[in-house]
Each structure stands twice: as C-alpha cells, then as structure tokens.
Amino acid sequence: MPDVPKFVMANSPHSPVLVVVSGPPGSGKSTLAHALAAEIGVPAIVRDEIKQGMVQAATDRVTDYDDLNIPVLHAFFGVLTLLARAGVSVVAEAAFQDKLWRPGLTALAEFAEIRVIHCTAPQSVLHERIAHRVGSDPHRQAHNDQGLLAAIAAGGQPVGAFVPVNMDVAELAVDTTDGYQPGLKAITQFATQPAQGKA
C-alpha cells in the first residue's frame, strides 16, 4: 500500500488542520485546492462552489448575483467552523483578501491549526485565465467575472490591488504560472507536516 499523506499536528494530535488556499482571481486556487485535497484525502471547501449552489437555488435574473456574497461568506465560514469543531481537516479556497479572511480565520484558530498557501502568477496570466473561464465555464455566471474583465479592459488593475491574508501562521507561496512551483509534493508536505512557520 502506498504511503498516504496524513495531517501531522505540531501542537495537538487532536486538532484538525485548515489549509487555506488564497490568492487573486485567476491564480489557480480552485485547481490547486482540489488537487491538494485529493492528494491528502480531505474535503475541499470552495467558496465559489458554495455560491454556485446558492445561485442554482435562487430566482433566475438578468443582473449579477453579488447580493449573495455576504450569505456565501457566512455559509463558507459556517461550514469551516462546523468541520473544525468536529475535528475534520480540510482545504479551504477563496479569493478573499485579508479583510475577509483574517476575522474568520482568527475565530477558527481556536479549533484548528491554520496553514496558508498564497497562489501567485503574473497579471497577464491572471487576466487570460479569467477571460478563458468566462467563455468556457457556464457556472461562472454566478460570479461577476464580466465586471472584473470590464474593469481590466478599462485600464484598471483590480487583481493587482489584491491584499493577501496576513496572519502569524505557516505560509507557503506557490507560483501557478506553469504548473506549481514548488511542486505538488512539496505543497503536500507543507500541508501535512508539523508547522515550521512561514515558508
């Protein structure tokens, strides 16, 4: 039987690990979160998928679904809190900036060891990915990708103004421009080995 990565806790063998995959839109967070969760064998809790589920239950509309963002935020952190209190390790992914991540994660630190993965890629790559998914993924109608693209086309740099989550927890920067640097094996080790601090 092959070695299966296990979460190893630095402080308490009874606390779950919450691996946060963060970064600006188009930085490859969802893809990495699903790959990492599958590698480790834990659930991936993805903010955009929660919103897409809410949109499917909402009334059809011509306008965007931005009014669901706050209920999605509460549902996302509610699910993470429920799982952490139950002792479930997870990979959590969202394009939240520090002002949204930190309050929720600070509360979760009571129940879980938090590790943060910061996904990065050049602006041009982020913009290209956002444009591609608008045209190829019908579920993206739940999100305001068109508005993001319009802001970029108007010369704005909404992705460049992204403020990453900043906490005193173990961190790892991952360049997703072409695959993962460091690779998935190293990312898995970061997620599953005792925390060593910021990487």
Whether residue 158 lies inside any domain: the answer is yes
CATH number at residue 36: 3.40.50.300
Whether residue 3 lies inside any domain: the answer is no
Whether residue 1 lies inside any domain: the answer is no
- Concatenated DSSP letters of 1-61: ---------SS-TTS-EEEEEE-STTSSHHHHHHHHHHHHT--EEEHHHHHHHHHHHSPP-
Q: Which of 46, 17, 76, 56 is nearest to 141 (CA)?
A: 56
- How many structural domains compose the chain? 1
pTM here is 0.81
Look at residue 9 in the predicted model and tell me its pLDDT. 40
- Six-digit token pair at 83? 């799982």
Whether residue 12 lies inside any domain: the answer is no
- Six-digit token pair at 89? 């390790």
pLDDT along the chain (199 residues), means of 10: 48 78 91 97 94 78 72 94 95 92 95 95 82 59 57 60 90 96 97 67
Whether residue 29 lies inside any domain: the answer is yes
Q: What CA–CA distance (Å, rounded) separates 118 from 138? A: 27
Give the residue numbers spanning the domain of 134: 17-192
